[in-house]
Amino acid sequence: MKENKYYGTMAALCLSVGLEGIRETMEIELLKQIDQIKQGDLLLISNGEEITHAKAQIVKVSEHDGTEVIFDKRKNKYFNVGMYLDGKSWAKDVRIVRLPSNA
């Protein structure tokens, strides 16, 4: 998926977290490592058809399930990072939005 598709979602993401003025200084990072996402990280998650912006509410690590990122606890929306990295997840492309340190 091309980077510019994600930048089209940035306005909604910025508005949802109250950061309208810093869109130009954000960085979008491809998820490549099992321990890359931390609680509170802003995410762009694609299922292959649409992109969802979300905040990592819980990053759960267990021996049985591996690493799961819950982004909507109330609706039980999550993805398994190991399955994503292996290409076996419903999440087809996950990006982490890195904010400038002074945001």
Domain span at 84: 3-98
What's the pLDDT tens digit per position in 11-68?
555 555 555 555 556 788 999 999 999 999 999 999 999 999 999 999 999 999 999 9
Name the domain count of the chain. 1
Q: Is residue 61 part of a domain?
A: yes
Q: Is residue 70 part of a domain?
A: yes
pLDDT of residue 98: 86
Are 22 and 31 contacting, i.e. CB atoms less than 8 angstroms apart?
no
pLDDT of residue 101: 66
Q: Is residue 94 part of a domain?
A: yes
Q: Is residue 87 part of a domain?
A: yes
Q: Is residue 38 part of a domain?
A: yes
Sheet harboring 77-80: ordered strands across?
58-62, 66-72, 77-80
pLDDT of residue 14: 54
Q: Is the pLDDT of residue 74 over 60?
A: yes
- Would you place residue 1 in the very low, low, confident or very high pLDDT band (cuts 50, 70, 90)? very low
Q: Is residue 103 part of a domain?
A: no
| Residue of 79, 77, 76 lying closest to 65 (CA atoms) | 79
